[in-house]
Amino acid sequence: MILPPDPQVRLTTLTNGLRVVSERMDHLATASVGIWIAAGARHEHRDEHGLAHLIEHMAFKGTDSRSARQIAEEIENVGGDLNAETTAEVTSYFARVLGEDLPLALELIGDIVTRPAFAADELEREKQVILQEIGSYEDAPDELIFDLFMEQGFPDSVLGRPILGTPDSVMALSQASMRSFLARQYRAPAMVVAAAGAVDHEALVAQAERLFGGLSAQQPEQAVACPYHGGDMRQKRKLEQVHLVIGAEGVSFHDPLHEAMHVFAQVMGGGLSSRLFQELREKRGLCYDVHAFFTPFSDTGIFGIYGGTGAKDAGQFTSVMIDQLRQAAAQLEPAEIARAKAQIKVGMLTARESPTRRADQMARQLLAYGRVPSGQELSRRIQSVDQDSLKQAAERLLQGQPTFAVIGPHTGLPDFTRLQGDFVPL
Amino acid sequence: MILPPDPQVRLTTLTNGLRVVSERMDHLATASVGIWIAAGARHEHRDEHGLAHLIEHMAFKGTDSRSARQIAEEIENVGGDLNAETTAEVTSYFARVLGEDLPLALELIGDIVTRPAFAADELEREKQVILQEIGSYEDAPDELIFDLFMEQGFPDSVLGRPILGTPDSVMALSQASMRSFLARQYRAPAMVVAAAGAVDHEALVAQAERLFGGLSAQQPEQAVACPYHGGDMRQKRKLEQVHLVIGAEGVSFHDPLHEAMHVFAQVMGGGLSSRLFQELREKRGLCYDVHAFFTPFSDTGIFGIYGGTGAKDAGQFTSVMIDQLRQAAAQLEPAEIARAKAQIKVGMLTARESPTRRADQMARQLLAYGRVPSGQELSRRIQSVDQDSLKQAAERLLQGQPTFAVIGPHTGLPDFTRLQGDFVPL
Give the closest of B135, B335, B353 to A241, CB-based. B135
Active-site annotation holder among A23, A56, A89, A259: A56
- What radius of gyration, in Å, describes the C-alpha atoms of chain B? 22
Residue B350 shares a structural domain with residue B379: yes
pLDDT for position A6: 78
Q: Is A62 domain-assigned?
A: yes
How far is B71 from A125, CA to CA, in rounded Å? 52
Q: Which residue of A has its CA nearest to B98?
A: A346
Question: Are B51 and B126 in contact, with CB atoms under 8 Å apart?
Answer: no
B407 with B259, same domain: the answer is yes
- The boundaries of the domain holding residue A236 are 231-422
Distance (Å) from the alpha carbon of A110 to chain B's nearest alpha carbon: 18
How would you label B330-363 residue by residue, b for 16+ Cβ within 10 Å and e otherwise?
eebeeebbebbbbbbbbbbbbebbbbbebbbbbb
- Test B72 with A347 for CB contact under 8 angstroms: no
- Is-contact A35 A406, C-beta < 8 A? no
Angle A355-A360-A366 from CA coordinates, rounded to 5°:
125
How far A301 CA sits from the closest chain B CA (Å)? Answer: 25
Partner residue opposite B339 with nearest CB, options A77, A125, A353:
A77
Are B233 and B145 in contact by the 8 Å Cβ rule? The answer is no
Of A76, A243, A339, the CB nearest to B73: A339
Closest CA to A8 of A152, A271, A200: A200
Cβ <8 Å between A288 and B129: yes
CA A132 remoteness from chain centre = 22
Beta-bridge partners for A63: A116
pTM given for the model: 0.96
Task: Using the predicted structure, report yes or no on whether residue B411 has a pLDDT greater than 90.
Answer: no
Regarding whether A46 and A120 lie in a shared domain, the answer is yes
CATH number for B183: 3.30.830.10
Asked whether residue B220 is domain-assigned, the answer is no
Question: How confident is the model at residue B294, as a pLDDT?
Answer: 98
Closest to A233 in 3D by CA, of A223, A222, A242, A244? A244
Instruction: Say if residues B197 and B25 touch (Cβ distance below 8 Å).
Output: yes
Look at residues B163, B313, B159 and name the one whose alpha carbon lies nearest to residue B243.
B313
Same domain (yes/no): B22, B163: yes
Name the phi and psi angles at A290, rounded to 5: -145, 130
In this complex, is the C-beta atom of B243 within 8 Å of any C-beta atom belonging to chain A?
yes
Q: How many CA atoms lie within 13 A of B289 on its CB side?
A: 17
Cα separation, B242 vs B410, in Å, equals: 6
Residue B118 lies in a domain: yes
Q: Do B342 and A76 touch (CB under 8 A)?
A: yes
HEC states along chain A?
CCCCCCCCEEEEECCCCCEEEEEECCCCCEEEEEEEECCCHHHCCHHHCCHHHHHHHHHCCCECCCCHHHHHHHHHHCCCEEEEEECCCCEEEEEEEEHHHHHHHHHHHHHHHHCECCCHHHHHHHHHHHHHHHHHHHCCHHHHHHHHHHHHHCCCCHHHCCCCCCHHHHHCCCHHHHHHHHHHHCCHHHEEEEEEECCCHHHHHHHHHHHHCCCCCCCCCCCCCCCCCCEEEEEECCCCCEEEEEEEECCCCCCCCHHHHHHHHHHHHCCCCCHHHHHHHHHCCCCCCEEEEEEECCCCEEEEEEEEECHHHHHHHHHHHHHHHHHHHHCCCHHHHHHHHHHHHHHHHHHHCCHHHHHHHHHHHHHHHCCCCCHHHHHHHHHCCCHHHHHHHHHHHHHCCCEEEEEECCCCCCCHHHHHHHCCCC
Query: CA A110, CA B33: separation in Å to the nearest integer?
Result: 40
Report the distance separating Cα A88 and Cα B145, nearest Å: 31
Interface probe, candidates A130, A242, A273, chain B, greatest B C-beta count within 10 A: A273
Long-range contacts of A370-377 (CB under 8 A, 24+ apart): A371/A11, A372/A6, A372/A9, A372/A11, A372/A21, A374/A3, A374/A5, A374/A6, A375/A2, A375/A3, A375/A4, A375/A5, A375/A6, A375/A348, A375/A349, A376/A2, A376/A3, A376/A5
Asked if residue B264 and residue B184 are part of one domain, the reply reads no
Is residue B148 domain-resident?
Answer: yes
To the nearest whole Å, the CA of B285 is away from the closest chain A CA by: 5
Q: B140 — contact with chain A (CB < 8 Å)?
A: yes
CA distance A369 to A374: 12
- Domain-embedded: residue B273: yes
Q: Is B355 on the interface with A (CB under 8 A)?
A: yes
Shared domain for B195 and B235, answered yes or no, is no
What is the value of ipTM here, to two decimals? 0.95
**Residue B6, pLDDT score:** 77
Please check whether residue A37 is in contact with residue A217, taking contact to mean a CB–CB distance below 8 angstroms: no
Region of residue A118 (phi > 0: left; psi between -120 and 50: alpha; otherwise: beta): left
Picking from B67, B70, B240 by the largest number of A CB atoms within 10 A of its own CB, the best residue to mutate is: B240
> What are residue B63's DSSP bridge partners?
B116
The total of structural domains in chain A comes to 2
Last residue of a domain, one of B181, B212, B243: B212
Q: Which of A178-182, B186-190, B268-272, B408-412 has the lowest average pLDDT? A: B408-412
> Does A97 contact B at CB distance below 8 Å?
yes
pLDDT tens, position by position, B310-354: 999 999 999 999 999 999 999 999 999 999 999 999 999 999 999
Residue B234 near chain A (CB below 8 Å):
no
- Would residue A23 count as lying in a domain? yes
Q: Is residue B110 domain-resident?
A: yes
Query: Are both A281 and A371 inside the same structural domain?
Result: yes
- Structure confidence by residue, pLDDT tens digits, B69-93: 999 999 999 999 999 999 999 999 9
Least Cα distance to A358 among A172, A195, A235 occurs for: A195
Closest by CA position to A148, among listed A402, A403, A405? A405
Q: Which residues of B touch A339 (CB under 8 A)?
A: 73, 76-77, 79
Q: Which residues of chain A neighbour B135 with C-beta distances below 8 Å?
A: 240-241, 288, 308, 310
A290 closest CA partner among A302, A307, A309: A307
Q: Which of B163, B184, B212 is the last residue of a domain?
A: B212
A262: contact with B, CB 8 A cutoff = no
Examine the domain organization and report whether B173 and B265 are in the same domain: no
**Secondary structure of A381-421 as H, E, C letters:** HHHCCCHHHHHHHHHHHHHCCCEEEEEECCCCCCCHHHHHH
- Give the confidence band of B135 by pLDDT, cuts at 50, 70, 90: very high
Same domain for A208 and A236, yes or no, is: no
Tell me what pLDDT residue A114 has.
Answer: 98
**Considering only CA atoms, which of B89, B73, B5 is closest in space to residue B41?**
B89
CA distance A227 to chain B (A): 32
Handedness of CA A152, A139, A137, B310 (dihedral sign): negative
Q: B75, A132: Cβ pair inside 8 Å? A: no
Shared domain for B94 and B164, answered yes or no, is: yes
Q: Same structural domain for residues A13 and A58? A: yes
Closest residue on chain A to B346 (Cα): A79
Cα separations (Å) of B383 from A103, B120, B269?
Answer: 25, 53, 19
CB contact under 8 A, B353 and A29: yes
The confidence score (pLDDT) of residue B7 equals: 77
B336 is catalytic: no
Query: What backbone torsions phi and psi does residue B397 show, to the nearest 5 degrees?
Result: -65, -40
Could you tell me if B299 and B396 are in contact, meaning their C-beta atoms sit under 8 angstroms apart?
no
CB-based contact, B339 to chain A, within 8 Å? yes
Are residue A151 and residue A238 in the same domain, yes or no?
no
The reported pLDDT for the residue numbered B244 is 97
- CA–CA gap between residue A422 and residue A424 (Å, rounded): 6
Most distant CA pair in chain A, distance: 63
Query: Residue-wise pLDDT tens for chain A (426 aa)?
Result: 777 767 799 999 999 999 999 999 999 999 999 999 999 999 999 999 999 999 999 999 999 999 999 999 999 999 999 999 999 999 999 999 999 999 999 999 999 999 999 999 999 999 999 999 999 999 999 999 999 999 999 998 999 999 999 999 999 999 999 999 999 999 999 999 999 999 999 999 999 999 999 999 999 999 999 999 999 999 999 999 999 999 999 999 999 999 999 999 999 999 999 999 999 999 999 999 999 999 999 999 999 999 999 999 999 999 999 999 999 999 999 999 999 999 999 999 999 999 999 999 999 999 999 999 999 999 999 999 999 999 999 999 999 899 999 999 988 899 999 999 999 998
The pair phi, psi for residue B407, each rounded to 5°, is -130, 135
Distance from A417 to chain B by nearest Cα, in Å? 29
Within-domain flag for B224: no
Nearest by Cα to A308 from B140, B243, B56, B327: B140
Say yes or no: A388 contacts chain B, CB-CB below 8 A.
no
Length reported for chain A: 426
* Nearest-neighbour CA in chain B from A410: distance (Å): 14
Stretch 62-91 of chain A: residues touching chain B, C-beta under 8 Å = 68-69, 71-73, 75-82
What tens digit of pLDDT does each residue of B356-366 get? 999 999 999 99
Write a three-state SS string for chain B.
CCCCCCCCEEEEECCCCCEEEEEECCCCCEEEEEEEECCCHHHCCHHHCCHHHHHHHHHCCCECCCCHHHHHHHHHHCCCEEEEEECCCCEEEEEEEEHHHHHHHHHHHHHHHHCECCCHHHHHHHHHHHHHHHHHHHCCHHHHHHHHHHHHHCCCCHHHCCCCCCHHHHHCCCHHHHHHHHHHHCCHHHEEEEEEECCCHHHHHHHHHHHHCCCCCCCCCCCCCCCCCCEEEEEECCCCCEEEEEEEECCCCCCCCHHHHHHHHHHHHCCCCCHHHHHHHHHCCCCCCEEEEEEECCCCEEEEEEEEECHHHHHHHHHHHHHHHHHHHHCCCHHHHHHHHHHHHHHHHHHHCCHHHHHHHHHHHHHHHCCCCCHHHHHHHHHCCCHHHHHHHHHHHHHCCCEEEEEECCCCCCCHHHHHHHCCCC
